[in-house]
Structure 1
């Protein structure tokens, strides 16, 4: 028989050859256990078909169809994914609740002779674990918040700190968003954010790799990055953390932003659609003026006005309300290795 266990009893991948999620592709895409692979027992279309048959015809007819589809899909997985596995292969298998789908695959693999473990409670058990850990884990760490106006190079500085072995929690990286109206990430085209559940899984995995005896550096954010929310416990720890502010001349910030957001220059229509959201705050005349700057490619003027009228005032309001007053202010003319060394110096003495 396939062995079962709860998530809290399950070691990581070192114990298992691999972790197999047998849910449908859409379920897997929303969130999954770290390092899991997706071998669906029913794909999205098949799952919907069986569910419709269950409700509209009868559970018996649905079970017959489901069994045929499951058998066919397992056979395909055996002929492809499992074909080269040796006799010591030991997977962890899970589905939504640790029920029929995971046990269907586990039973076949067990009959072949492989040692199979089924996650008791399935993905729902894992989600309970994630929520509990994100409540209890953040208070065990000391956080160091890096603040500064938009374009001050905070993300670049944090990446440089990470390369030097400093513990950095890259919230914008995990959320795939820069945390502002224009913050959607682009890689040739706009890229979506992870689901809220997947965002939380990524945060937990990052926190579990950190050493509680060393500080964790993090950028000053609100509790919402794009459409993703920070776990309340983490957000509370950040608000109480020591804060260091970077100050950079506006002209340098403008140059940095033009370099970091080239997609708005190549896709001015997208930029215009984003700026429409500011109409209720600044009025139609201002928006039309910014449209004119876009049409005439006066990019430096546009970015300067967006900073002066929108981003900098919003920063002043939020930083004073959300975070502790900065314990240090570092004024620089450019973002460089010297900046990083200045940040680290008090922590290395």
Structure 2
């Protein structure tokens, strides 16, 4: 047959992108927007791989039968209503037999299918190159400030008013602190986080700044690329400030759900025992049991978060000393504040 290969540069020319790897492989990471139509299930891939070590010919024959069966199922379900001029791009791990089989059969049917040259491995290599390159040529404005001052709310308000924003905690599905894990959703894999990060960075207009929160190099279980950390740590900063009372009130509201599961709350705080000691942790646990939100967050701010911020922020963010101060009430409507920042900074 004629050359049925395509490259990542051709991605936008296709009607659909199909990942034929197993559901487990797909869940770890995939090309954004791709659908999963596995030609081998998780279990089938293990069976074939195990057999291949013993008898390559038997494994190849079994593999062909399983792929044919699964292709038939997909044709009768997922792809049954696709029109004659449908043009999908198909990929597997490295552009081998799995994607090649589906591509060949789709073209025999009459569809204009192509196989991604190099498969997912080529895509991942491209992501790694972009993770180095794009942050280095981007202009960031960092929202710095103590815990509870409303940096995330201000970032969201800036986005709503049309500014370019990079919500790293949103991408990581974690708020970045010891209490930051989301009970509603697990964090993405590192590869998936990288893919989402590049997908968003690639959409930005390089002539305009990108607002981002100050972060450490790790958000929960995912790591920020070194190039991004270098870029944001050298960026201009806005020092977001709020009164102690406003910060407490904001945290009582923003983290109120933690009190719905006291055991989980205590488990998160237990990670601080080496830093603060068993006596302090026991006291904090009592405050949780008593539902004393304001007292607990007041102590967490004064004994843990503010000292940690003082230790790390000045050394990590080179321009923090020259930061523009911005005093807000984090519980208020920040729309007007965001609009004024956009005007002042030409964002």
TM-score by length of 2: 0.95
78-87 or 24-33, larger mean C-alpha shift: 78-87
Residue deviations 1:35-75, cap 9 Å, x none? 000000001011011111112x3111111211111110000
Runs of 4+ deviating beyond 4 Å: none
CA distance in 2, matches of 1:126, 1:157: 34
Shift of 1:196: 0.5
The 5 Å alignment of 1:145-156 reads 145-156=142-153
Q: Which residue of 2 aligns with 1:27?
A: 25
Q: Distance in 1 between matches of 2:328 and 2:20?
A: 52
Task: Describe how 1:59-78 pairs up with structure 2 within 5 A.
Answer: 59-78=56-75
Question: Within the alignment, does 1:141 sit opposite 2:120 as a pair?
Answer: no
SS for the counterpart of 2:79 is coil
**Deviation (angstroms), 1:342:** 4.2
Q: Is the 8 A contact 2:145 2:240 kept in 1?
A: yes
Alignment-derived partner of residue 247 in structure 1: 241
2:122 to 110, 120, 125: 125
Aligned to 2:289: 295
Distance 1:122 1:303 in 2: 49
Question: Which residue of 92, 95, 98 maps to 2:92?
Answer: 95
- CA 1:75–1:149 in structure 2 vs 1: closer, same or farther (change >3 Å)? same
Aligned to 2:328, which of 312, 332, 348?
332
- For these two proteins, the number of residue pairs brought into alignment is 342
CA contact (8 A) 2:4 2:103 kept: no
Q: Secondary structure in 1 aligned to 2:199? A: helix
Alignment RMSD: 1.4
CA-to-aligned-CA distance 1:105-158 (integer Å, 9 cap, x gap): 111111101111110100000001001011111122111000111111111111
For residues 171 and 303 of structure 1, what CA distance do their matches in structure 2 show? Answer: 24
Is 1:109 aligned to residue 103 of structure 2?
Answer: no
Distance 1:29 1:302 in 2: 38
- Equivalent residue for 1:43? 41
Structure 2 CA distance, aligned partners of 1:122 and 1:337?
44
Q: Secondary structure at the match of 1:92?
A: strand
**Aligned to 2:341, what secondary structure does the other structure show?**
helix
* Correspondence list, 1:189-204, <5 A: 191-204=185-198
2:275 equivalent among 277, 281, 299: 281
1:348 is displaced (CA, Å) by 4.0
Distance 1:299 1:327 in 2: 32
* TM-score (normalizing by structure 1): 0.95
Find the partner of 2:299 among 291, 305, 310: 305
Native 8 Å contact 2:92 2:120 kept in 1:
yes
Distance 1:100 1:333, change over 3 A: closer
Distance 1:162 1:28 in 2: 30
> Distance between the aligned counterparts of 1:10 and 1:277, measured in 2?
48
1:86 pairs with 2:83: yes
Cα distance in 2 between the residues matched to 1:23 and 1:11: 18
**Deviation string, structure 1 residues 182-216 (Cα, Å, up to 9, x no partner):** 101233xxx21111011011010101110010000
Structure 2 partner of 1:224? 218
State the alpha-carbon separation in 1 of the partners of residues 188 and 63 from structure 2: 30
Asked if the contact 2:91/2:115 (under 8 Å) is kept, the reply is: yes
Q: 1:24 to 1:244 in 2, by over 3 A?
A: same
Distance across 2 between alignment mates of 1:93 and 1:332: 50
**2: CA distance, partners of 1:257 / 1:343:** 24
